[in-house]
């Protein structure tokens, strides 16, 4: 049985079409999404969290996507996201995380 991974992806809505293209490029057949507003009490632009969350007065609108993928496909997706992020000059790159799935039925 292949090792399954849970992949969580967070991106600003402006990059949502590009994210969809990345998912299609590696043939991700099923994923879920939800809209998220990000807030941070003291967003100064200097911390790592500033890329994630906006100041309380100006929330950022994000899309969080998640899917279960085989380990090799999850790695391919992260590589495509790295390539995309390398080509943009923005404070809000697409963020993605792979979490191991211990057991499933």
Give residue-wise pLDDT tens across range 34-88. Answer: 999 877 665 555 555 545 444 456 677 899 999 999 999 999 999 999 999 999 9
Each residue's pLDDT tens digit, 5-43: 999 999 999 999 999 999 999 999 999 999 998 776 655
Would you call 2 exposed, middle or buried from its count of C-beta atoms within 10 A (0-12, 13-18, 19+)? exposed
Report the domain count for the chain: 1
3-state DSSP percent of the chain in helix, strand and coil, to 5:
30, 35, 35
CATH of the domain at 41: 3.30.70.120
Domain-located, residue 78: yes
H or E element that contains 19 = helix 16-25
- Tell me, yes or no, whether 10 lies in a domain: yes
Residue with tokens 């994630």: 52
Which residue segment(s) compose the domain that 68 sits in?
4-100
Specify if 105 maps to a domain. Answer: no
């Amino acid at each position: 049985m292949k090792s399954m991974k849970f992949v969580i992806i967070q991106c600003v809505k402006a990059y949502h079409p590009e994210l969809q293209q990345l998912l299609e490029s590696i043939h991700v057949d099923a994923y879920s999404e939800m809209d998220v507003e990000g807030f941070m009490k003291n967003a100064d632009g200097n911390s790592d969290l500033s890329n994630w969350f906006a100041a309380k007065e100006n929330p950022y609108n994000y899309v969080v996507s998640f899917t279960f993928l085989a380990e090799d496909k999850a790695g391919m997706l992260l590589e495509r996201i790295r390539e995309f992020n390398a080509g943009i000059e923005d404070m809000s790159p697409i963020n993605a995380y792979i979490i191991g799935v211990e057991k499933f039925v």
